[in-house]
Amino acid sequence: MQKLLTAEEMRVVEENTINNFGIDSLVLMKNAATKIAETIISNEDDLKSKVVTFICGPGNNGGDGVFAAEILAKKGYNVKCYVIAKKSQIKGNIKKCLERLSKSIDTVIVDSNFSYDDINDSDILVDSIFGIGFNSNPEDGYYDAIHYINNCKKTVYSVDIPSGIHGSTGFMEDIAVNADYTITIQFPKLGLYLNDGYTYSGEVFIVDIGIPKGADEVVESKIFLTEESDVKNILRKRELTSDKKDFGKVFNFAGSLATPGAAVLSSISCLRTGIGMLKLGIPMNISASISSVYPEIMTIPLPYTQPGYTSLNAEKDIVKGFNWADAILVGPGLSVSPETKRVTKKLLSKYIEKPMVIDADGLNILSENLDLLDKLGENTVLTPHDGEMSRISNTSKEFLSLDRLSICIEKAKSWNTNIVLKGTPTIISNENGEVMIHVNKNPGLAVGGSGDVLAGILVSLMGQKYSIKESILLALYIQKISGEKAKEEKGEYSVLPTDQISEIPYAIKKIREM
């Protein structure tokens, strides 16, 4: 897990490194350039046959690019370099490097009226214009350069952050570089994973430029980027003498006549993730059909109202399920029929201390009973998408979309609970204000039922007595790895929730072998 820094925090860390750890800014720039060059070389096939063009600004980000161009040129690669600036702006570290670079390759100082036609033969463009120093709308030559980069149909790398994206918020002004890859320096920047930055950054490489351990302690960020290595060594080995009761019990209160599939998806994903026993509480007029197709799902047939929604008379049976289980899932396909809402509200307020995942219609019922949110505890995990989060937080969708991170943090603390806000990215926050950002750039998962799969995986792990944090991390990576495998097999257009479930064993095996 890596600390995520805002642009302001990164500047503080760099100043601390220079002033208190005795590392010169020129050394840091050279280290950054070396890593930029190495990343491009390792990521590109047959780079010797390609033309690499650097488009740089006059600041430190531009200096990183100019130094990287020099390194590639010395290694024999075909390199061009353009610096967008007046000659009077070229000073300091970047001036020193340009003086050396101009002796080995063509370097051009670009004024506002420059034409980029003579670099159309480039195969790769490296955006090194603004970096985290961006703080205003790109104008004149900067706007033209970014417009050219976005329309030239070349492979694009950005240095540190795509130019035009704010390093702290991820928002852009009128225009920003739409990168295929971003090579970010030392620490991931918050803006790479929020708002426009999420889609404009492409694949992100985080490179170590030698900032000493401890130099970042000058900032107190509580926001972290999850990494696959975070789940290494969490999954426990199963003993040969194990009994099914050793692996936990889950009660899934889910499903209705209109949406029985959600109950099935969440139940099967729960079982595939290794729970010892699962019982599904579902209206009795559909329970038999589920048991006949999925014999591994034990059902508690519940009294119902026509045509197939859980009724108030089901309370005693649901209580049995709640008392029996080690962890509970409430919501997938449950419906918001009047009697279902009343019995759910009553039981949520009574069993809030038990490990519980509330998803889908469970969240919709909470949104109509906001007083229950103040009774949630640290053993509860809410798993809303943006629409559900808008309803339970009593926030407009438009406002939520502008500040998902702050709203998620504030609500987790005020409700004293855990929130997994699904989306791009997924934001995880708890009652202590600790935040994790999880990136899963797989459009194949954008299909109805993926949330049911995640909820089932998550409650399975909670039922197996993993901590809340461990359960959330494992659940997100099990779905990410299984989703990537399903996309590889089916293509991003055709991944179904059942395909994700089929690949859960693959994901668990991969995690076990880390």
Q: Regarding the domain delimited by 231-512, which CATH topology (the fold level of the hierarchy) does it fall under?
A: UDP-N-acetylmuramoyl-L-alanine:D-glutamate ligase (3.40.1190)
**27-59 residue pLDDT tens:** 999 999 999 999 999 999 999 999 999 999 988
Residue 227: its pLDDT value, please? 96
For residue 445, the 8-state DSSP code is G
Average pLDDT of the segment spanning 428-447: 96
Contact 242, 294 (CB under 8 A): no
Average pLDDT of the segment spanning 99-110: 69
Percent of the chain with pLDDT over 90: 83
Percent of the chain with pLDDT over 70: 97
**279-305 residue pLDDT tens:** 999 999 999 999 999 999 999 999 999
Residue 100: its pLDDT value, please? 74
Residue 502 host element (H or E): helix 497-502
CATH class of the domain comprising 2-220: alpha beta
What is this structure's pTM? 0.93
Average pLDDT of the segment spanning 352-364: 93
Residue 509 host element (H or E): helix 504-512
Residue 352: its pLDDT value, please? 74
Backbone angles phi, psi at 203, to 5 degrees: -80, 135
Confidence of residue 319 (pLDDT cuts 50, 70, 90): very high
Residue 145 host element (H or E): helix 140-151
Alpha-carbon Rg for the chain, nearest whole angstrom, is: 26
Average pLDDT of the segment spanning 129-137: 86
Residue 387: its pLDDT value, please? 96
Backbone angles phi, psi at 123, to 5 degrees: -100, -30
**456-476 residue pLDDT tens:** 999 999 999 999 999 999 999
Confidence of residue 111 (pLDDT cuts 50, 70, 90): low
pLDDT of 419 higher than 90: yes
pLDDT of 114 higher than 70: no
Contact 160, 182 (CB under 8 A): yes
Map residue 447 onto helix, strand or coil: coil
Q: Is 417 exposed, middle or buried (0-12, 13-18, 19+ CB in 10 A)?
A: buried
Average pLDDT of the segment spanning 355-379: 94
Exposure string (b/e) for 193-202, b if CB count within 10 Å is 16 or more? bbbbbbebbb
Residue 138: its pLDDT value, please? 86
Average pLDDT of the segment spanning 309-335: 96
Residue-wise DSSP of 386-421: HHHHHHHTT--HHHHHH-HHHHHHHHHHHTTSEEEE
Residue of 364, 401, 405, 396 lying closest to 383 (CA atoms): 364
Spell out the alpha helix ranges (H) of 215-360. Answer: 260-272, 284-293, 315-324, 338-350
pLDDT of 16 higher than 80: yes
C-alpha separations of 309 from 258, 286, 333 in Å: 9, 10, 10
Q: Where in the chain are the domains? A: 2-220, 231-512
CA distance 102 to 286: 76
Dihedral (Cα; 194, 200, 206, 210), 10-degree rounding = -90
Low-confidence winner among 108-112, 143-147, 211-215, 435-439 (lowest mean pLDDT) = 108-112
**345-354 residue pLDDT tens:** 989 888 778 8
Confidence of residue 7 (pLDDT cuts 50, 70, 90): very high
Confidence of residue 140 (pLDDT cuts 50, 70, 90): confident
Residue 106: its pLDDT value, please? 65
Residue 112: its pLDDT value, please? 57
**194-239 residue pLDDT tens:** 999 999 999 999 999 999 999 999 998 889 999 999 999 999 999 9
Per-chain mean pLDDT for the chain: 93
